[in-house]
Amino acid sequence: MSQHPGFGENLTALRSAQKPSRGTAAYSRLVNRPLGRIVAAWAHSVGISPNQATFVSAIFSGSAIALIALVKPTWWLGIVIAFLLAGGYVWDSVDGQLARLRGGGSKSGEWLDHTIDCFKTLTLHLAVLISWFRFAESDNDAWLLAPIAFTIIAAATYFGLILMPTLRPATTTDPSTLPPENPLRMFLILPTDYGFQCLLFVLSGWWLGFAIAYSTVAALCGLALTAALRKWWRELRELDGAPA
């Protein structure tokens, strides 16, 4: 007899124990979290732990990043890479949902999750840089500035998203009391969604199309980071009691 709750019981429990979706982009909200919930319900029923889910995520993502850097892009390889990256992102959602099913996570598990996310965030764009240096169909080295810039943008964004919650005072604000979120916002911020960025790699076998799409998304993420930095600075200055 199984020592773990069944799939249906786990799925029901997760539906009532989700993180607030406010502020998340469309892919994460509408695709990744629902898929992660299904996988987490199955994983818990067979006894997979949150840390094991984190390692599965790392294997998926790491395999994709290695393929980007080491293998010449083709149309079919682009599909494989996008699948592996998206699969790694699903499992990145699974570890947190498994922790909620178990009644809460651990400090070591949270550290492991964030550390692997940091490696993934940096190495993905560095792998694109290596791939373009080795296999690009253009002799114009200026294209290499896009993955370099994307690495910096992704690192600064990740750092800010991790740091800001530690600087804000604890709050017990009921989400239901906040003004309604603009329904278009989750689509407007879609370029910043890691899951959406994973899907871009379907184009990686078509070098010019991928280069244009990737560079455009990098520029949009740069604009989003600029807006976020301004917002975070003003918020912290208000907390300091000083003019922004």
Q: List the CATH code of the domain at 7-166+181-240.
A: 1.20.120.1760
Name the pLDDT band for 20 (thresholds 50, 70, 90). low
Maximum pairwise Cα distance, the chain = 63
Mean pLDDT (whole number) for 196-225: 96
Mean pLDDT, the chain, as a whole number?
A: 89
pLDDT tens figures, 123-177: 999 999 999 999 998 889 999 999 999 999 999 999 999 999 999 887 756 555 6
Whether pLDDT at 91 is above 60: yes
| Domain ranges across the chain | 7-166+181-240
95-99, 188-192, 226-230, range with the lowest pLDDT: 95-99
pLDDT digits (tens, 9 = 90+) for 32-44: 988 988 888 888 8
Asked whether residue 116 carries a pLDDT value surpassing 90, the answer given is: yes
> Which among 96, 110, 101 is positioned nearest to 14, based on CA atoms?
101
**Side-chain half-sphere exposure of 157, counting CA atoms within 13 A:** 22
